[in-house]
Structure 1
Amino acid sequence: MADEFFYGVTLKGANAHVLWNPESTSGAEELEYPRANKLIVKQILLGVEAKQDEYNVVEVETKSEDSIVKIPIAVLKVGENRCSQSFLEFPDNPVKFTLIQGEGPVHIHGHHLIGEIDTDEIEEEIDEEEFDDEEDQEEPKNKKAKIASQNSKGAKNDKNSKKK
């Protein structure tokens, strides 16, 4: 079963930013087998203290498949839009939220999911590692035995050839 936690941050002030880093939030450095993390952003809200006629733009920066992506995810203005529904998912990579325009406050909330460790998979990996280690240890013995038997056959053949 996965662990699920509420996630919430507030961006307030010009160029305010917050970094969500799954490596530091899950305690992964303490675990022998790290768990998968996912941040799900469900809603972005404009705070009641926001200034009239000011646009508040929230940008996200994260790693994509092979590059860094920077893109606005919400544009909020008092009287026009105080809330942005979003169901953005960010798996396992750090995510930086920045208020690139306006002074907020802008509230971002959602869920932080920490995946379950598959103990069966870990046991299989351990068994495979032990099996590989045993094979590595046995291999030199088998090679030595083969070489020794070949040498003894060769020695017998040499003796037989000398007698003729």
Structure 2
Amino acid sequence: MAEESFYGVTLTGKDSTVEWDVLSNDEDYPRGQKLIIKQILLGAEAKEGEFNVVEVQTVKDSLRIPLAVLKAGETRAVNPDVEFYDTSVSFKLIQGNGPVYIHGQNLKDEVEVVDMEEDTDEEDEGEEEEDEGQPKKKLKLENNTDGKGAKNKKK
């Protein structure tokens, strides 16, 4: 089962940087962790006509690309719906002064411990009981839409 939490940060001022660290080698979440960015918003205090560029950098792939270009009076929000799986990420305001709000979801995958022996034993017993019983019968289906059966078709 996954544990889900809200993720939200604010970038204010040029070169403002915020990092999201993945929980590596965490015993509680051995299946990994994922950050999903749903929306990036430009604050109401942003200067009219100023471009605000948010760059994302991933540690795992050393990827560095602009994620959003916002401008007061034109584009105040973007919905990138981008996922970062098992990699630390940093968000940086490379142009403009913001404020820029980034929000989304943080998902941590937990491992459920299931006793496989109990499930396997029950399935084996069920198969043996079916084999010992009578053979399965195949059903013959006819088209009864005209009420007379499939053999009496009109020519």
1:49 aligned onto 2:45: yes
One-letter code aligned to 2:37: V
1:111 aligned onto 2:88: no
The Cα shift of 1:69 comes to 0.5
Q: List structure 1 segments (4+ residues) > 6 angstroms apart after TM superposition.
A: none
The Cα shift of 1:118 comes to 3.7
Does the 8 Å CA contact 2:28/2:110 hold for their aligned counterparts? no
Which protein has the bigger helix share?
A: 1
One-letter code aligned to 2:49: D
- Which residue matches 1:78? 72
Larger Rg: 1
| Sequence identity (%) | 53
The Cα shift of 1:71 comes to 0.2
Q: Deviations over 1:84-129 (max 9, x none)?
A: 01110000110000000001000000000000214249x99xxxxx
Q: What TM-score results when the alignment is normalised by the length of structure 1?
A: 0.65
- Which residue matches 1:139? none
Q: Deviations over 1:31-53 (max 9, x none)?
A: 36634100000000000110111
Structure 1, unpaired ranges of 5+: 125-164
Match 1:99 to one of 81, 93, 106? 93
- Count of paired positions: 117
Structure 2 vs 1, CA of residues 116 and 32 (structure 1 numbering), >3 Å: closer, same or farther?
closer
Q: Deviations over 1:121-156 (max 9, x none)?
A: 9x99xxxxxxxxxxxxxxxxxxxxxxxxxxxxxxxx
The Cα shift of 1:7 comes to 0.4
1:23 aligned counterpart, secondary structure? coil
- Which residue matches 2:63? 69
Q: What TM-score results when the alignment is normalised by the length of structure 2?
A: 0.69
- Which residue matches 1:20? 20
- Which residue matches 1:148? none
Q: Hey, what's the Cα distance between the residues in 1 that align with 2:9 and 2:111?
A: 27
1:13 aligned counterpart, secondary structure? coil
